[in-house]
């Protein structure tokens, strides 16, 4: 992207589980990275990644966002999970980036943001629209469900011999290792070959929970039982999550691995390899 000077990139949510994977990919490309983090306690996390230029603040804080964007050439943007007013906050970020003279925004959106019943998907569409309207360069990444979501339950699954989620065992999902998404994000931020593209990012396969449990059983060496977790009525679940789980109970969420394979120039990471990695740690 920059021929004559060091590229300056803002990584939003750099201490978070997703953007923290993008930062190392950028640093290996000799990019100057600024981290925008939620709280001061996040500083050590990004410092361990090798970033010393850190701005602390809320995405909803216009002054903090403006400070984070000052002097930046390109920005990686991802919204925190369950962010309130996600669409409005994202639109404000796009406007602030334009105002700051940012040239390019790479937005880690979600697979199928047209799904209006899934609020966490539909909230991404207005942000994409704002970036399209902005006149800035853009790249939209549409990753499938992350492998890393399963990682959080790995230890308990091994202990109990049960793996459950609050929707049907039959529902199939495409999935992706976010490390592969992070590599694509770094390419999009530092090169022009993905410019103005929208890219569905999925690994090979679309297992339901029966298939997941069978693969887990193979890797851990004991039988894993798939179950649908029932959410108690008194759990006071967020309406967004209630709608999402109900939708997942009835519908698959599927994509295709061709685009990710083509961008990376190699096979995407596999779910079996991810499970084997978890099992070694």
For 230-249, what is each residue's pLDDT tens digit? 888 767 888 888 899 999 99
Residue 105 domain-assigned (yes or no): yes
Please report the pLDDT score of residue 53 as a whole number.
98
Q: For the whole prediction, is pTM greater than 0.85?
A: yes
What order do you get walking across the sheet with 53-56 strand by strand? 53-56, 32-37, 8-12, 74-77, 104-108, 137-143, 198-201
**103 belongs to a structural domain:** yes
Please give the structure tokens belonging to residue 81.
């999970």
Q: Is residue 160 part of a domain?
A: no
Q: Name 46's Cβ contacts closer than 8 Å, sequence gap at least 6.
A: 14, 15, 20, 23, 35, 37, 54
The answer to whether 204 and 175 are in contact (CB under 8 A) is no
Domain containing 106 equals 8-146+175-204+253-269
Predicted confidence at residue 33, as pLDDT, reads: 98
Question: What pLDDT score was predicted for residue 107?
Answer: 98
Q: Quote the number of domains for the chain.
A: 1
- Choice between 253 and 234, residue whose per-residue pLDDT is larger: 253
* pLDDT score, position 239: 83
Proportion of the chain above pLDDT 70, given as a percent: 98
Mark out the alpha helices in the chain (DSSP H runs): 19-27, 43-49, 62-69, 86-100, 119-122, 124-134, 148-151, 154-160, 178-190, 209-220, 239-250, 258-264, 271-280
Q: What percent of the chain has pLDDT over 90?
A: 91
Say if strands 198-201 and 8-12 run parallel, antiparallel, or are unpaired: unpaired
Residue 93 domain-assigned (yes or no): yes
Structural domain includes residue 243: no
200, containing H or E segment:
strand 198-201
Instruction: Summarize the confidence of residues 4-15 as an average pLDDT.
Output: 90
Average pLDDT over residues 159-188: 98
Q: Residue 183: which CATH number?
A: 3.40.50.720
pLDDT of residue 4: 46
Whether 154 is covered by a domain: the verdict is no
Q: Where are the alpha helices (DSSP H) in 28-85?
A: 43-49, 62-69
**Average confidence (pLDDT) over 192-221:** 98
66-83 average pLDDT score = 94
* Burial of 241 (C-beta count, 10 Å sphere; 0-12/13-18/19+): middle
Per the domain annotation, does 264 fall within a domain?
Answer: yes
- Bridge-partner residues for 199, per DSSP? 141
Name the average pLDDT for the chain.
95
Please check whether residue 165 lies inside any domain of the structure.
no
| 277/233: higher pLDDT | 277
Q: Name the β-bridge partners of 36.
A: 12, 55
């Amino acid at each position: 992207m920059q021929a004559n000077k060091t590229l300056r990139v803002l990584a939003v949510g750099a201490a978070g589980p997703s953007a923290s994977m993008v930062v190392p990919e950028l640093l290996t490309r000799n990019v100057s990275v600024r981290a925008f983090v939620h709280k001061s306690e996040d500083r050590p996390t990004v410092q361990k990644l090798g970033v010393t230029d850190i701005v602390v603040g809320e995405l909803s804080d216009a002054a903090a966002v403006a400070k984070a964007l000052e002097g930046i050439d390109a920005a990686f943007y991802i919204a925190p999970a369950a962010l309130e007013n996600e669409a409005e906050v994202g639109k404000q970020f796009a406007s602030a980036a334009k105002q700051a003279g940012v040239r390019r925004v790479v937005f880690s959106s979600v697979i199928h943001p047209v799904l209006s019943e899934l609020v966490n998907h539909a909230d991404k569409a207005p942000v994409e629209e704002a970036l399209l309207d902005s006149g800035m360069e853009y790249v939209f990444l549409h990753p499938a469900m992350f492998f890393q979501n399963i990682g959080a339950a790995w230890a308990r699954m091994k202990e109990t011999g049960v793996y459950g989620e609050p929707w049907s065992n039959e529902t199939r999902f495409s999935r992706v290792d976010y490390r592969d998404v992070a590599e694509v994000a770094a390419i999009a931020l530092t090169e022009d070959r993905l410019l103005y593209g929208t890219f569905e990012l999925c690994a090979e396969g679309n297992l339901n929970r029966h298939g997941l449990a069978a693969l887990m059983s193979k890797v851990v060496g004991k039988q894993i039982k798939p179950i649908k977790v029932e959410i108690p009525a008194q759990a006071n679940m967020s309406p967004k999550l209630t709608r999402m789980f109900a939708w997942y109970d009835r519908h698959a969420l599927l994509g295709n691995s061709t685009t990710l394979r083509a961008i990376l120039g190699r096979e995407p990471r596999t779910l079996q390899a991810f499970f084997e990695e978890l099992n070694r740690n």
